[in-house]
Amino acid sequence: MEPQTSELRGRLEREVVKLRRSGVIPPSLEAKMTQAVNELKPRLRFDSTKDRLFNVEATSYIDTAVPTDSKRPGVTYVKRAIKAGVGWYLTYVTQQVNNFTFETVGLLNALELRLSEQELRLAKIAPQVSLGHTSGQFPANILAEQAVRAQLLDRQNEQPILVTDAGGDRLLAELTALLPDLVYGQIEDSDLADRSAKEGLDVRNSSLLWHLEHCADGALGALVLRGTELECSPVWFKRGVLAETRRALAADGVAVLIHHEPSALASSPELSATAAIRGEPISVAAWAILADEAGFSSSTETIDVDTAVTRLQR
């Protein structure tokens, strides 16, 4: 069964690639189809919160009407005597416990319902975007892009290359021309993704972290990590991207990170507003610490006072 499943999946993937390149499936439509599939996934599993609350409610009632019958002579009368002697007290205590349990489970059910409603709303609003769209972009740096191209062309493997935040400049198009059929991009904005696809570029309309989480282990030969979604984000998001990058990167692969010092925000009011909402960029030294935490060996090339390019290897 497994070989047949793999063969079928391979045929489907080849057909999707063919349709994507022909323009029949725009990136935004693919993202919406993914959202629709995710919404159809069953939310209730055996160990789900709702199931567990049902089990708690079903087993929480305490009954003081314990059985007193016995096959042994005289034991039945002894049990009934004990029950009659302490029954008044046990009934009083268990009534309080049952009332408390009933109210507690009712409160938990109400909270579970409200949380489920919020999850459904979030799924419809942004099923795969972790932090929402950016409103500004760091200015393109020609020297940084040249450094990236040089490091990517120095690779030895023939596995796919991912260019993140690929809708703001010509880097994806230039790399595609140099390495056809190997390079594809990730774009968070649906309009930019569709526009890039119409130009003949292979792109995915998704959040950076969401896309990396859905890449197979060792599937990527190289990555270009950059963009406001990455830089203007909380530290937990940056850590998640680096961890998923290391997992998805081939053993001999390389990731190239284009990043900026926080002082670069001064060049754009939109960037400053984005950073205030989503999280500010971190320094080159801080990126080095995060890269070390993720298990990368890194080397950084300073492009100018604000921009740096860091090479990450496993």
pLDDT in tens, 145-197: 888 888 888 776 788 999 998 876 788 888 888 888 889 999 988 888 888 88
DSSP string spanning 271-303? HHHHHHHH-----HHHHHHHHHHTT-EEEEEE-
Report the 10 Å Cβ neighbour count for 45.
9
* Higher-pLDDT residue of 174, 32: 174
Averaged pLDDT, 215-219: 92
pLDDT in tens, 236-252: 999 999 999 999 999 98
pLDDT confidence of residue 130: 44
Averaged pLDDT, 43-48: 52
pLDDT in tens, 56-73: 777 777 776 666 677 677
Out of 86-100, 104-118, 189-203, 285-299, the most confident range is 285-299
Residues 190/195/199/205 CA torsion (nearest 10 deg): 0
pLDDT band at 229 (very low <50, low <70, confident <90, very high): confident
pLDDT confidence of residue 46: 47
Whole-number Å distance between alpha carbons of 143 and 179: 20
Among 59-73, 94-108, 117-131, name the one with the lowest average pLDDT: 117-131
Residue 42 clears pLDDT 70, i.e. is over it: no
Q: What is the pTM for the complete model shown?
A: 0.66
pLDDT band at 3 (very low <50, low <70, confident <90, very high): low
Closest CA to 206 of 194, 225, 227, 188: 188
Residue 215 clears pLDDT 50, i.e. is over it: yes
Residue 307 parent element (H or E): strand 307-313
Phi, psi of 310 (to 5 degrees): -115, 130
